[in-house]
Structure 1
Amino acid sequence: MYTVGQLSKLTGVSVRTLHYYEKLGLLEPDRNTGNQYRSYSENEILRLQKIAVLKQMHFKLSEIKVILDNGEVAHHDTAVWSRALTQQMVFVKQEQEKLQAVEHLLFSTLYAMRATEQVNIEEMLGFIRELEQPPQGPQLRQQAFTPEELEVLPINDVSNPLAMGWSDILRRVSGLLAEPPDSEASQQLAASIIEYADKMFDGNEQLIQKYWEYITPQEGQAARVYGMTDEVMQYIDAIIRIYLGEDDPRA
């Protein structure tokens, strides 16, 4: 058992905060019938530990109380502590996935603005819609790629400075769509795309091809990756095939 002062000193949680948690019913310390001094059991330490984790995950105190009220009593039971910590890890994992989804949405919006050099209100509306209804992209990628491949896919690392670089290439593509695929400008672009892909996929040509096939929209479908419409992908495919000598533009 710990006094309120001892618990405050050991956890870094102020005495005032501990009193406030008690007032809200988050903590229920024992009271000495003689002097009314508070004493905190192991069960209260477990509850305080849960509160600390859930607060970091931005749960409101009222929400935390509901979670705690559905909990268990500890009494030195390692199984209870294990279940509690495992449940918290599940909570943390879920929050991480939500935050990663938001991170990808933010990145995609910045990416689109950089590629087009304008703010697209429809994209912003789509952003809001996807926040309310999480996109299916992660599930689709898990079906298409092995865990090892997913680890190195550029889409999984928005912190990679190369990831935003594709928006610059897309902007160049949009300005050259009317150019013949064998023109000097188109072939310079093809060289840039090949160099970029080699860096992004660390020279893994098999994964490059697999990813290209994955993002290619089926007939009548919208682009799977922003800006990669059927027209854009056909143009890119054409200029690269010529650059690699696979197609003769004079044929």
Structure 2
Amino acid sequence: AQWNNGWDYRNDGVDIEESQDPRGYPYNVGWIEDNEWLRYTVDISDSGKYNVDLRVASAVGGGECRLYLNNQPLGNIINISNTGGWQNWQTVNGPDLQLPAGTHQIIISFPKGGFNLNQMAFAAESTEINHHNGPYPRDYELKQNYPNPFNAGTKIQYYIPVEDEVRLTVYDTTGREVWVLVNKKQPAGDHSIIFQDSRLSSGVYICFLKTDRYQQSRKMVLMK
């Protein structure tokens, strides 16, 4: 019987199909309808603030999703627009979330369907506001990631002297955008984020920091 509309990966009631997302996993959840949901068990190593990004595709738009931690709502509803096709994938930045350490249940619910979901990624973020006592403020800086080379994950640190729109991205050597780590306004100060993606193969990747006033890149080496 057709229980999985995509007939792919497994047949347990979740509609799964092969994905054409070059930055995503080989399968995606599809045929999402109103009021459906998915539940995951997650292990959060450290309490703190996390960024969440979704890889979505839609030919109709108007979709909505919302996250829950242990049945308690996390942030606001995330709106999903028309991306131009069911396999035309875009990254949607969700709300910043304060998550506690430990093993928890995370539910992603879909008040309104009409889109496909390839992945949901969480990245820890830390921010320290440092007061500079010298005659001139520190300049913008993207530090070298550490460790580098790296295997499982690496820490990316940067400093912005004033509140600014920040976009922090990772590219491969062909210029293909691999991941958007940060895409929002941030306060002045030191910032850091952990980057890890088990799908990537060994090689050189470029971390690129861009603001309204500054841009800088660093090479990162992934060794598996």
Higher helix share: 1
Higher strand share: 2
Higher relative contact order (CA 8 A, sep 6+): 2
Larger Rg: 1
Could you state the TM-score of these two structures normalised by the residue count of structure 1? 0.26
